[in-house]
Amino acid sequence: MTTLDSTNTYHNQARQFFEKTAEEKARETKFVQRQSPLTGSLFLLTLVLCVLQSGEILLPQLAKTVSKIEPEVEVSGQAFKARFTEFAVKFLKVMFAEALKVTAPNEAQVVPLLSTFSEVNLLDSSVVNLPDAVAKEFPGHGGISGKAAAKVYLLLEWLSGAYKTIRLEAGRKADQNMGEEFLQDAKPGALWIFDLGFFKAAFCAAIATARSFFLCRLPAAQHKLWVVNTAGQLESFDLDEFLRRVPRQGPFEIDVRFGPQQEVKARLIIAPVPAKVAEQRRRKARAAAKRQGRTPTQRTLKRCDWTLMLTNASPEQLPTTTVLEVYQVRWQVELAFKLYKSQAQLETTRAEEKQRVQCEFYAKLIALLFFNRVSGLVERHLGEKCSPTKLWRQMQDDREDLLKVLGQGTAKSLDQSLKFIARFAKPSSRKKYPSTLQRLQRAAEEARQIKLEDPLGYLRAKRKTAAERRKTFTRYLENRPVSFNLKRSSYQRTVSLP
Taken in order 291, 297, 299, 302, the sign of the CA dihedral is: positive
Asked, for residue 406, whether it belongs to a domain, the answer is: yes
Asked, for residue 164, whether it belongs to a domain, the answer is: no
- The widest CA-to-CA distance across the chain, in whole angstroms, is 88
CA-based nearest residue to 378, from 414, 413, 430: 414
Q: How far, CA to CA in Å, does 38 sit from each of 82, 98, 113, 352?
A: 11, 21, 52, 23
d(CA 251, CA 239): 15
Asked, for residue 367, whether it belongs to a domain, the answer is: yes
Asked, for residue 369, whether it belongs to a domain, the answer is: yes
Q: How far, CA to CA in Å, does 462 sit from each of 44, 468, 469?
A: 72, 9, 9
Q: List, for residues 206-260, the tens digit of each pLDDT value.
A: 999 999 999 999 998 777 999 999 999 999 999 999 999 899 988 999 999 999 9
Cis peptide before 251 (omega within 30 of 0): yes
Asked, for residue 343, whether it belongs to a domain, the answer is: no
Asked, for residue 477, whether it belongs to a domain, the answer is: no
CA-based nearest residue to 44, from 56, 58, 64, 26: 26
Q: List, for residues 259-316, the tens digit of each pLDDT value.
A: 999 999 999 999 999 999 999 999 999 998 898 899 999 989 999 999 999 999 999 9
* Single pTM value for the model: 0.90
Beta-strand relationship, 213-217 and 191-194: parallel
User: Residues 347, 341: contact at Cβ < 8 Å?
Assistant: yes
Query: Which residues lie below 8 Å from residue 299, measured CB to CB, with a gap of 6+?
Result: 220, 223, 240
Q: How far, CA to CA in Å, does 82 sit from each of 31, 74, 254, 356?
A: 12, 15, 63, 9
Asked, for residue 60, whether it belongs to a domain, the answer is: yes
What pLDDT score does 498 carry? Answer: 29
d(CA 318, CA 333): 21
Give residue 26's domain range. Answer: 3-104+349-425
What pLDDT score does 144 carry? Answer: 58
**Dihedral over alpha carbons 222, 332, 248, 235 (to 10 degrees):** 30
- Number of domains within the chain: 1
Asked, for residue 90, whether it belongs to a domain, the answer is: yes
Q: List, for residues 381-404, the tens digit of each pLDDT value.
A: 888 888 888 899 988 888 899 999
